[in-house]
Amino acid sequence: MIRLCTDAPDFEPAFLALLAQARETTEQVDDAVAAIIAEVRAGGDAALCDLTQRFDHMTVTPDRLRIGVDEIEAAVAVVPAELHAALDLAATRIETFHRAQLPADLRMTDAEGLTMGMRWTPLDSVGIYVPGGKAAYPSSVLMNAIPARAAGVGRIAMCVPTPGGALNPLVLAAAHRAGVSEIYRVGGAQAIAALAWGTDSIAPVDRIVGPGNAYVAEAKRQVFGRVGIDSIAGPSEVVVIADAAQDPRRVAIDLLAQAEHDEAAQAILITDDVRFAAAVAEAVAVELPSLPRCVIAGASWERHGAIIVVRDWDEAAALTDRLAPEHLEIMTADPAALFARVRHAGAAFLGASCPEALGDYVAGPNHVLPTGRTARFASGLSVFDFLKRTTWMRGDAAALRRIGPAAQALAVAEGLQAHARSIAVRLGNG
pTM for this structure? 0.93
Domain boundaries, the chain: 30-229, 237-377, 396-427
Catalytic pick from 98, 261, 304, 327? 327
Q: Give the Cα separation of 224 and 216 in Å (integer).
A: 12
Catalytic pick from 218, 260, 263, 326? 326
Instruction: Give me the phi and psi of 122, to 5 degrees please.
Output: -75, 155
Q: Tens of pLDDT along the chain (430 residues)?
A: 899 999 999 999 999 999 998 776 546 899 999 999 999 999 999 999 999 999 999 999 999 999 999 999 999 999 999 999 999 999 999 999 999 999 999 999 999 999 999 999 999 999 999 987 556 789 999 999 999 999 999 999 999 999 888 889 999 999 999 999 999 999 999 999 999 999 999 999 999 999 888 899 999 999 999 999 999 888 999 999 999 999 999 999 999 999 999 899 999 999 999 999 999 999 999 999 999 999 999 999 999 999 999 999 999 999 999 999 999 999 999 999 999 999 999 999 999 999 999 999 999 999 999 999 999 999 999 999 999 999 999 999 999 999 999 999 999 999 999 999 999 999 998 7
Question: Which CATH fold topology does 237-377 show?
Answer: Rossmann fold (3.40.50)
Q: Give the Cα separation of 312 and 272 in Å (integer).
A: 6
CATH topology match: 30-229 vs 237-377 = yes
Determine the distance from the C-alpha atom of residue 2 to the mean position of all C-alpha atoms in its chain, rounded to a whole number: 28
User: Is 327 annotated in the active site?
Assistant: yes
User: Is 282 annotated in the active site?
Assistant: no
Domain 30-229, CATH among 3.20.20.70, 3.20.20.140, 3.40.50.1980, 3.40.50.300? 3.40.50.1980
